[in-house]
């Protein structure tokens, strides 16, 4: 398995996998919500724009040249990076791909001087996985996005560094 950063020209190819994972891997989402996420909220044009503005980095896991998993994360703000999406194609579950994507994200943020990773999950079944990966449940958001409860997870990976707190976001001058 290879993990690497996705480039903008690959968004269309990536989006096919993203759509499959969102459609298959999130049973708590209605079909209407799945369609909205795929066709509006995270459509290829939106993802290209967020990559161009350096608002997102997308890590992809590949097996034999095929994208089989991904982790989308936001750039540091105040030393913290947030992951809005982690997904793996169902046929590749339980092969360590999600865990390796989380490790790679952590390495990236440590290199940038960050001290904390954050993510939310709306699936109770993911709680044990995140805890095994070193994350701690820090809270619960009732009736969060799309009316679903969300578990808040965090992982402290270093000491807060005030020198990076005042960097301009997303590479601005």
**pTM of this prediction exceeds 0.75:** yes
* Burial environment of residue 52 by CB neighbours within 10 A (0 to 12, 13 to 18, 19 or more): exposed
- Residue 173 has a pLDDT of 47
- Residue 169 has a pLDDT of 58
- Residue 26 has a pLDDT of 83
Read off the pLDDT band of 123 (50, 70, 90). confident
* Rounded Cα gap, residues 109 and 160, in angstroms: 12
Q: Are 135 and 129 contacting, i.e. CB atoms less than 8 angstroms apart?
A: no
- Residue 164 has a pLDDT of 84
Q: What is the pLDDT of residues 13-40, one digit of tens each?
A: 999 999 999 999 888 889 999 999 999 9
In order of start, what are the domains of the chain with their CATH numbers? 2-167 (3.40.630.30)
Q: Which residues 6+ apart lie within 8 Å of 89 measured at CB? A: 17, 20, 21, 24, 68, 69
């Amino acid at each position: 398995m290879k993990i690497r950063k996705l480039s903008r020209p690959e968004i269309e190819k990536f989006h096919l996998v993203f759509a499959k994972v969102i459609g298959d891997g999130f049973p708590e989402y209605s079909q209407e919500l799945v369609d909205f996420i795929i066709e509006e909220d995270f459509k290829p044009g939106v993802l290209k724009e967020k990559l161009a503005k350096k608002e997102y980095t997308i890590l992809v896991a590949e097996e034999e040249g095929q994208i089989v998993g991904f982790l989308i994360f936001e750039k540091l703000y105040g030393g913290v990076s947030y992951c809005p999406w982690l997904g793996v194609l169902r046929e590749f579950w339980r092969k360590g791909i999600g865990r390796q994507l989380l490790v790679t994200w952590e390495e990236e943020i440590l290199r940038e001087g960050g001290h904390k990773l954050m993510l939310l999950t709306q699936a109770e079944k993911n709680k044990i996985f995140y805890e095994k990966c070193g994350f701690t449940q820090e809270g619960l958001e009732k009736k969060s996005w799309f009316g679903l409860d969300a578990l808040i997870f965090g992982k402290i990976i270093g000491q807060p560094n005030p020198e990076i707190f005042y960097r301009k976001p997303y590479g601005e001058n």
